[in-house]
Structure formats: C-alpha cells, structure tokens
C-alpha cells in the first residue's frame, strides 16, 4: 500500500535530478512508474474483495483499541478510485510524450505530475483526517502549478483564481478537522465515528458537516462552489485538463465526501437532502451553462460539473433512503449507479479532453466555429471523440447509458420522479451539446478554407485516445451481474455498512 505514495514521490525527485543529465529520462520514467502503479492497483482491486486492508505506518499498534499511528486503508471503494487515478495517469503520461514538447521545462511538468499522482493516491488511502489534508495539499499545489504551466495571461489568471478558491476550501476543511479533533480527541476516521455515535449536540454536528461539505465541495466543483473550474480546466495543458476533470475532482472531492459522510458521520436525512439538492443543481445548471459554449474545453469543463451532479444526486438518494431506514436494496442500487458513473466519467471525460488537446495541437484553436471537416484528416481523433461523446450522452451500448439508467431506475423506484425526469432531460441536452461538438469540429466543412491544413496527431497521443475509447466500451460490462458483483458490490457494502470499515481498523 505505501508504494502508491512512495513510488511517484521517488519519481518526482529522480526526475528533477537525473532528468537534468539524461535526455528524455523524465517522460519514459514517468510512464514506467505509472504502468507499475496501474499493475499493482488492478491487482489490489481484484484481490481485495470484501476485505479491508490496513497498513500501520511505522508499525504503531492501537492502545486500548485507540489507533495512535497513521493508518493507510484500502477497501473495495478506495481500490476502485486508485485504479482510476493510476490508469488515467498512465495514459495521460503517454499522451504527454508528444503533446508537452510545445512547452519548455518538461522536467518540471513530469515532476509536478508525479507529485500530483502521489497526493491523490495518498488522499484515497489515508485512514485519518490529518493525512487526507496533507496529501490534499500536496496534490492541489501541484495542480495550481500545472494549470499555470503555459505561463500566459489566461493560464496565470485561471491558476490565481483556482488558488484563491482552493485556499478557502483548504481553510474550511482544516477548520472542520480542528472542530472534530476538539470534540473527539482523535483524527482516525473509524475512531471518530465511534466517538460521534455516543452523540453530540445536533447544532455542532451539523456545523462540522457543513464545513466539511463546503470545503470538499469546492474541491469537487459542485454547485455553487464551481467558479474556479471552467477557467482552470480550459486554461491548463490538455493532459492536465484530462487529469483534473477525469480524476482530480473525484479523488480530492467526491471520493472524500462519500467516504466521510458514509464511514465517519452518521447519515442524517437533512444532510442527505442537501447533498441530493446540490447534486441536482449541479446536474441541471452545469448542462445549461455548457450548451452555449463555443470553446471546446470550456464546454467540457461545464459538463464535468453536470456529470458530477449525477454522481452526487445518486449518492444522495441512497443516503436519504438509508437515513429513513427504508428500501435498503434501492439505496444500494442508487449508490451503485453513483459509483458506476464516477468510473465512467473518468474514462469518457478524460478521453474528451485528450480529443480537445489533439484538435488544438493540430489546428491551434479551441473555437468550434473555426473548425470543421476534421473527420477525414484526423480519423483516430474523430472516431474516439465519437465514442466519448456517445458515452457521456448516455447512448447505448456505451458505458454512460448503463450508469445513467441505473441512476434513473433507482430514482423512480425510490419515488423521486422529478429527479428521474430531470436526469433524463439533462441527458438529452447533453446529447444536443455533443452533437454540436461533433458537427462543428468534424463534419461541418463550411469554414474549411479558413483553417490551416490538419493532420493526425503523433502515435503516443493516438495510443492513449484509442485505449480510453476501448475502456469506454469495456466499462459497459459493469452492468453485467457477475462483473458488478466483483467490482462494485464490495464498494457498495463498505459504504452501506460502516461497521465493516471500522471493525478492521479499531478491532470492534
């Protein structure tokens, strides 16, 4: 388990030292490091099952069942997110081999990239609040630098806005952690839950939950905490846009919200309704903000807000049913839909940002009005972007269809008919948005004479896009019961039954 953090951290230092003397060491060593992490992350996913693995850093054992050391914890849910981080990270590293040649200081890029991966892996595997915060800061500081990597006016402005709002988020999170420690005298997630179960006054409990939700909501860019995302995602180099949207907002935002509200706090109906409301607002407002965009990366950025809304909506429905103690099988279905869509979004949104990067790399513009007719000259980019566009729009047999279907079925079964209707409407508007993208980028030839001659991007970029498009198709298999039971069910069970998580850590 420590290898998920130690390996990319070591790569950061080696790249900064050896990369100065050995040409191209940085790009190939980064790819090899992430390939190693992909192998061990999928090995963990298929071996973890219903178990909870705990690594006690420094070998510190609990005293009187009180965990006093730093714990790294892997279960079915964290294993899925670790696989997402490292797989998308590996493909982005391969893509960057060609893409990042247009920038100077490649060494800094790859070092910061490895540091960001180490931070995200650390957040997902930390079993205590303080180390979640430490790794969160490692990853976000790397992200701030990578957003500004082009050091032009737009990049610097976007990075500054991101830093200001990110600092507010970090303050809220640290403030919340401080209040929790003040009351419970512990920072271990499982131990905090035991302390909270004995009961505190409702006003304090609600205040802490709001602090934590606001802080990590800002990191996840859910409404109304989304202001930094469109600028940051559109201004960053495209490989980093793919990481920020496909992985980052999940690992340091959505994942932590789900983990803490299921495995640390006792689920309350009022908080469940709030999370569902925020998810619904994100889903609806995000798609309406997206459809009017002509800059392809801003269009994709607003869709990230909308698609994360689906995840929060589905998880929120599950929380409402759990808090009411009714329809537990429907709650499990809603949580399954949320996690399934989380995985799917990483694949199709990562691919869409790589497609956008390929188009910008070739013709030097992100404006859809200045494109057209690229399907013939860029067949690989065109084909993979079609797969991703259909996936995010929820068209069968692509992966997005199945996760959205599960979310809608769960909402109907739970008798949240309005939420189900909104999910369908948003999916239709999403399809309209991506049909616009396909038409203006690849098939509308009216402006062909105005743009420079296009040609297909280099092979490393094509490789990453093709692999991700295959992943988009293969993820549909998660709807098959056998595959779902192997991958999704352990994650659902650990969230539905907090005792499964805490008993392995504090030995209940």
Q: What is the pTM of this model?
A: 0.92
| Contacts of residue 410, Cβ cutoff 8 Å, sequence gap at least 6 | 314, 317, 318, 330, 333, 334, 336, 337
Q: Are 16 and 107 in contact (CB under 8 A)?
A: yes
Structure tokens at 301: 């950025």
446: left (phi over 0), alpha (psi -120 to 50) or beta: alpha
pLDDT at 38: 93
pLDDT at 448: 47
Residues 5, 15, 87, 154: is their CA dihedral positive or negative?
positive
What percentage of the chain's residues is helix, strand, coil (to nearest 5)?
Answer: 80, 5, 20
Q: Are 281 and 224 in contact (CB under 8 A)?
A: yes
Angle 226-229-235 from CA coordinates, rounded to 5°: 160
Structure tokens at 290: 């997206």
Q: List phi, psi (to 5°) of 53.
A: -90, 130
- Other Cβ atoms closer than 10 A to 250: 27
DSSP character at residue 54: E
Q: Structural domain boundaries of the chain? A: 3-506
108: left (phi over 0), alpha (psi -120 to 50) or beta: alpha
Q: What is the distance between the alpha carbons of residues 167 and 273, in angstroms, rounded to a whole number?
A: 27
**Farthest CA pair distance, the chain:** 76
pLDDT tens track of the chain, all 508 residues? 899 999 999 999 999 898 888 888 888 899 999 999 999 999 988 888 888 888 888 877 777 777 777 888 898 889 999 999 999 999 999 998 888 887 777 888 899 999 999 999 999 998 889 999 999 999 999 989 888 887 778 888 888 888 899 899 999 999 999 998 888 888 888 888 888 777 667 788 888 989 999 999 998 888 888 888 888 888 888 888 888 888 888 888 899 999 999 888 888 888 899 999 999 999 999 899 888 888 888 899 899 899 999 999 999 999 999 888 888 888 999 999 999 999 999 999 999 999 988 888 888 888 888 877 788 888 888 899 999 999 988 888 888 889 899 999 999 998 899 999 999 999 999 999 889 888 888 887 654 454 556 777 788 889 999 999 999 899 888 888 888 888 888 889 888 887 888 777 776 4
DSSP character at residue 245: I
CA nearest to 371, candidates 297, 300, 302, 294: 294
| Contacts of residue 459, Cβ cutoff 8 Å, sequence gap at least 6 | 98
* Terminal alpha carbon distance of the chain: 23
18: left (phi over 0), alpha (psi -120 to 50) or beta: alpha
CA nearest to 33, candidates 106, 118, 97, 95: 118
pLDDT at 508: 46
CA nearest to 361, candidates 152, 98, 112, 21: 98
pLDDT at 195: 80
Q: What is the distance between the alpha carbons of residues 233 and 252, in angstroms, rounded to a whole number?
A: 16
Q: What is the distance between the alpha carbons of residues 214 and 232, in angstroms, rounded to a whole number?
A: 19
pLDDT at 84: 92
| Contacts of residue 39, Cβ cutoff 8 Å, sequence gap at least 6 | none
Q: Are 436 and 368 in contact (CB under 8 A)?
A: yes
CA nearest to 423, candidates 300, 282, 304: 282
Q: Which residue has the tokens 């807000």?
A: 305
- Other Cβ atoms closer than 10 A to 58: 6
Q: What is the distance between the alpha carbons of residues 342 and 258, in angstroms, rounded to a whole number?
A: 12
> Looking at 292-375, which runs of residues are DSSP E strands?
none
Q: Are 415 and 363 in contact (CB under 8 A)?
A: no
Please report, to the nearest 10 degrees, the dihedral formed by the alpha carbons of residues 105, 107, 113, 116 taken in order: -100
pLDDT at 320: 92
């Amino acid at each position: 388990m420590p290898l998920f953090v130690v390996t990319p951290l070591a790569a950061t230092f080696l790249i900064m030292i050896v990369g100065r003397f050995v040409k191209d060491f940085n790009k190939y060593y980064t790819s090899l490091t992430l390939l190693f992490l992909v192998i061990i992350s999928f090995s963990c996913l298929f071996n973890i099952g219903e178990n909870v693995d705990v690594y006690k850093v420094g070998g510190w054992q609990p005293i009187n069942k009180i965990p006093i050391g730093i714990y790294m914890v892997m279960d079915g849910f964290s294993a899925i997110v670790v696989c997402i981080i490292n797989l998308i990270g590996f493909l982005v590293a391969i893509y960057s081999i060609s893409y990042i040649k247009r920038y100077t200081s490649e060494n800094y890029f790859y070092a910061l990239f490895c540091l960001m991966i180490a931070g995200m892996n650390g957040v997902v595997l930390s079993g205590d609040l303080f180390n979640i915060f430490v790794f969160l800061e490692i990853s976000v500081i790397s992200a701030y630098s990578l957003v500004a990597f082009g050091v032009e006016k737009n990049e610097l402005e976007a990075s500054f806005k991101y830093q200001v709002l990110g600092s507010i988020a970090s303050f809220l999170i640290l403030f919340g952690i401080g209040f929790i420690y003040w009351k419970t005298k512990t920072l271990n997630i499982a131990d905090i839950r035991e302390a909270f179960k004995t009961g505190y006054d409702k006003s304090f409990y609600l205040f802490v939950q709001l602090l934590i939700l606001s802080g990590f909501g800002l990191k996840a860019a859910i409404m109304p905490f989304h202001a930094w995302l469109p600028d940051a995602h559109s201004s960053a180099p495209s490989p980093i846009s793919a990481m920020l949207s496909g992985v980052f907002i999940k690992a340091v935002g959505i994942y932590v919200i789900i983990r803490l509200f299921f495995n640390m706090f006792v689920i309350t109906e009022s908080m469940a309704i709030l999370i569902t409301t925020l998810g619904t607002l994100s889903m609806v407002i995000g798609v309406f903000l997206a459809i009017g965009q002509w800059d392809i990366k801003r269009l994709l950025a607003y869709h990230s807000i909308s698609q994360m809304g689906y995840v929060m909506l589905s998880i929120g429905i599950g929380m409402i049913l759990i808090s009411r103690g009714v329809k537990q099988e429907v709650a499990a279905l809603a949580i399954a839909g949320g996690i399934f869509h989380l995985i799917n979004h990483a694949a199709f949104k990562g691919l869409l940002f790589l497609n956008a990067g390929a188009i910008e790399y070739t013709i030097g513009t992100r404006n859809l009005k200045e494109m057209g007719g690229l399907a013939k000259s860029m067949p690989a980019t065109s084909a993979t972007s079609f797969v991703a566009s259909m996936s995010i729009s929820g068209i069968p047999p692509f992966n997005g269809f199945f996760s959205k279907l599960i979310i809608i079925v769960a909402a109907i079964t739970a008798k949240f008919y309005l939420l189900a209707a909104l999910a369908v409407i948003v999916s239709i508007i999403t399809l309209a948005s991506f049909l616009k993208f396909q038409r203006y980028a690849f098939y509308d030839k009216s402006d062909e004479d105005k743009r420079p001659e296009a040609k297909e991007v280099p092979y490393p970029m094509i490789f990453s896009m093709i692999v991700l498009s295959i992943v988009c198709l293969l993820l549909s298999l998660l709807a098959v019961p056998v595959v779902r039971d192997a991958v999704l069910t352990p994650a659902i069970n650990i969230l539905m039954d907090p005792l499964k998580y805490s008993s392995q850590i504090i030995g209940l």
